[in-house]
Amino acid sequence: MKIKILALLGLLAIVAIALGWFLLSSSVSNNAKIAAVTALQDSLGRNLKRGTLIIVDFTQPSQSKRLAVLNIETGTILFYAKVAHGKNSGVVYASKLSNIIDSLQSSAGLFEVTESFNGKKGQSLRLKGLNPHLNGNAEIRGIIMHSAEYVSWYSIVANWKERFRLGRSEGCFVLSNSDFQELKINLVRPAYLYAYQDDEKAR
């Protein structure tokens, strides 16, 4: 009996370690990084010498750190963070992206981070979609960056019946409060956000 209990505890410890590693690891693919830099260059028609590029890799699960903050001047990733997607985009993965008003889905493509403001979601960053068919309705839809309590370890554990998913938004890019504050501290203008998905088709 003791051997079975020890074996079970050992198995649980292995699962906990594996889950912890998964939740703490960064998950922004090279494809997402290349696509983001290319999209920014194509949009501006030139290379920026300074500024910030926020990369969101929607091919990765929501529990992982699938958001990267790139300092354009130095070419270095400043930090990685978890980011929530729209509630109608999927459970763990944001497999359905949309530019449609009231879709409650996330959007793909390149956005400009236009201004900081205090709104009903607290401290926020306003986004302007730069790809008309992918995210041109971002401002009308109220798609912004902000923080929320549902981007947390507690939310992941509480949603264990739904494959330990992160909390979901109404289409906004939502970070934990601590990560959002770190983003604001490190944000250098001009600033852009690129949301990557293998199939960038607005629905």
Q: Kindly report the CA angle at 142 between 84 and 119, in degrees rounded to 5?
A: 90
Q: Which amino acid is at 81?
A: A
Give the mean model confidence (pLDDT) for residues 15-32.
62
pLDDT 10s digits, 86-111? 999 999 999 999 999 999 999 999 99
Rounded to 5 degrees, what angle do the CA atoms 134, 196, 148 make? Answer: 90
Residue 157 inside a domain? The answer is yes
**Residue 12 maps to a domain:** no
Q: Is residue 4 included in any domain, yes or no?
A: no
User: Could you read off the pLDDT of 127-159 as tens digits, one per residue?
Assistant: 999 999 999 999 999 999 999 999 999 999 999
Alpha-carbon gap, residue 130 to 146, rounded angstroms: 19
Confidence of residue 20 (pLDDT cuts 50, 70, 90): very low
- DSSP letter assigned to residue 95: -
**pTM reported for the whole predicted model:** 0.87
Tokens representing 188? 């250098």
Question: Quick check: is 2 in a domain?
Answer: no
| Residues shown for the chain | 203
CATH number where 91 lies:
2.40.440.10
| The pLDDT value given to residue 199 | 62
CA distance 107 to 130: 11
Distance from C-alpha of 18 to C-alpha of 164, rounded to nearest angstrom? 14
Instruction: Pick the closest to residue 69 from 199, 160, 175, 197 (CA basis).
Output: 175
Cβ 165 vs Cβ 159: under 8 Å: yes
Task: Confirm whether 22 is domain-assigned.
Answer: no
Q: Report if residue 150 sits inside a domain.
A: yes
85 band by pLDDT with thresholds 50, 70 and 90? very high
Number of compact structural domains in the chain: 1
Q: Does the residue 82 lie in any domain?
A: yes
Pair of tokens at residue 115 = 């201004």
Per-residue pLDDT at 198: 84
Q: Can you give the residue range of the structural domain that contains 162?
A: 27-196
In a domain, 112, yes or no: yes
